[in-house]
Structure 1
Amino acid sequence: MFLINGTWQHTLAANDRAIQFGDGCFTTARVIGGQIQLFDAHLQRLAQACDRLGIAFPDATVLGEEMRSIAKTQQLAVLKVIISRGAGGRGYSAAGCDSPTRMLSVAPYPAFYTQWREQGVTLTQSPVQLGRNPLLAGIKHLNRLEQVLIRRHLEQTDAQEALVLDSEGWLTECCAANLFWRKGQRVYTPKLDQAGVNGLMRQHILSQLNHSAWQVEEVRALLSDLETADEVFICNALMPIVPVNQAMHTRYASRDLYHYLAPLCEPN
């Protein structure tokens, strides 16, 4: 069941622009003990994405109450919130679409994340590249066909996640996670002004590192830059942070930065 515009149902209008054009945005939040982790950040992400797409943002008070109402019954779960431009419009035109659709759902928390955190993961290179588009870069819009194709290829390998480049060959992100690596005291993460999703955990980690002894920088990097890294990890709002044992043919033994950040990425 989905909570669609305040009503529990299985049905979404066939002319909703989420179906017709992927015209909307979404966020996925971790729920622990009935509490939504990074709650304010998730609401802000949705509002910023709607602003970028020119979608009227739903009443934040109503949306927030719906999110909390669903979350309070869950001990450990994933809450997903989708905002679409709504139903109607002829062709690509959004004329007359003044009532956005809000859709909320809850799912079990992926058990494998715990195993990933304890054991680490392996990354492979995806043959699927991300198209560069500064108008959409950073936001979590509903057009996820690139990620669908990345995941399809990934599932044919033994790796847990994929290293994804953009169409000009720059290292960008993973299929469903952001990427960091460390060389000595310097920490790097790809710039996301042309492609990729600026994840909430990525933002949180950058904030933590900016107030630490580590020196962090957003960079344009090649896949080969990971070969000289001392440490690599990936993150998203659900994981929230996972160490990398191996990326392609390079292995990593250090988890110094991971051990520093891991407790800072968990609820107090």
Structure 2
Amino acid sequence: MWINGVATKTLLAGDRAVQFGDGCFTTARVIDGNIQFLPQHISRLQRAASVLMIDNADWQALEAEMILAAAEREEGVVKVILTRGQGGRGYSAAGCTLPTRIVTVSDYPAHYHQWRKQGVTLGSSPVALSKNPLLAGIKHLNRLEQVMIRMHLDQTDANEALVVDTSGCLVECCAANLFWRKGTRVYTPDLSQSGVDGIMRQHLIRELDASTEWTVDIVSEAPGTLADADEVLICNALMPLLPVTQVDKRHYSSRHLYDFLRHSC
């Protein structure tokens, strides 16, 4: 682990990440020492920092630290956290002028390889995501909803959770974005009110838009829309794309869309 370029595991208790969850993060896959979608991960952090009004981040140093962390990994995961740093009184950010960079590297989750072969199951989560258009789409450090979703998921046999917002519309999974197919039309939830607009989700939408075979729609739909879906997929930057074999008690066997998209991941 590196904090502001120094190898250490010690973060000062006064950092606003500890005090308020005041920051953002991204998690990137490493293959043969290279970070996949590195420019997109940097852009994601920059967008989140802009929304959160975190200024003066040293983006050049951060990118160099990410590259260094990944350099000797055949396969792995680099996680980056950017916090507002220290300063301010109470919620006020006055005096916070030096953001904190935290870079960690870890092993790649081995179960993703198996899941790509056998597919995954989803179970409906009892935890609904709140709506907040200001923070929707970005990966900020306030993850208590996801923690609770995971707590409930760990009590089931499902591999991932199917999550709705407080209006009952599909949003995402605990740690993945969602797509489903009906014929040649592909659908993914609208994330303008809640959820995370993942890098792999953005990439797959671009791939679908560029194809002549598929039409992609961003929609607000209840989970019932999956009842007549031909295929369901989930994705994130690490997976990066997984076929879904079951949602609650409904089963899916088609991998037509998965086979089209997996080569671009």
Q: Does 2:12 align with 1:13?
A: yes
Matched residue of 2:157: which SS? Answer: coil
CA distance in 2, matches of 1:88, 1:19: 12
Q: Distance in 1 between matches of 2:215 and 2:248?
A: 26
SS at match of 1:78: strand
Cα deviation for residue 6 of structure 1 reads 1.0
Aligned to 2:224: 224
Q: CA RMSD in A?
A: 0.6
Identity score, percent: 59
CA-CA distance at 1:174 after TM superposition: 0.1
Mapping for residues 57-68 of structure 1, pairs under 5 Å: 57-68=56-67
Q: 2:2 aligned with 1:3, yes or no? A: yes
Matched residue, 2:206: 207
For residue 174 of structure 1, what is the amino acid of its counterpart? Answer: C
User: Normalising by structure 1, what TM-score?
Assistant: 0.98
Q: Partner of 1:49: helix, strand, or coil?
A: helix
The match for 2:260 is: 260
| Runs of 4+ deviating beyond 6 Å | none
For 1:65-214, list aligned pairs within 5 A.
65-212=64-211, 213-214=213-214
Give, in angstroms, the shift of residue 248 of structure 1: 1.1
1:57 Cα deviation (Å)? 4.7
Equivalent in the alignment of 2:233: 233
| Alpha-carbon distance in 1 for matches of 2:95, 2:218 | 40
Name the CA shift for 1:57/1:256 in 2 (closer, same or farther; >3 Å). farther
Q: Give the partner amino acid of 1:136.
A: L
* In 1: Cα distance, 2:118 partner to 2:231 partner: 15
Aligned partner letter, 1:246: Q
* Cα distance, 1:250 vs structure 2: 1.1
Question: Residues 146 and 227 from structure 1, CA distance in 2 versus in 1: closer, same or farther, beyond 3 angstroms?
Answer: same
Matched residues in 1 for 2:55 and 2:12: separation?
Answer: 18
CA contact 1:50–1:57 (8 Å) conserved in 2: no
**Aligned residues of 1:51 and 1:57 also touching (Cα < 8 A):** no
Task: Give the secondary structure class of the aligned counterpart of 1:106.
Answer: strand
Label 1:225 to 1:85 Cα distance change in 2 as closer, same or farther (>3 A).
same
Q: Does 1:36 align with 2:41?
A: no
Residues 34-53 of structure 1: CA deviation (Å, up to 9, x unaligned): 00000000000000000000
Extract unaligned runs of 5+ from structure 1: none
Secondary structure of residue in 1 paired with 2:121 = strand
Q: Give the distance between the partners of 2:64 and 2:161, measured in 1 at CA.
A: 36
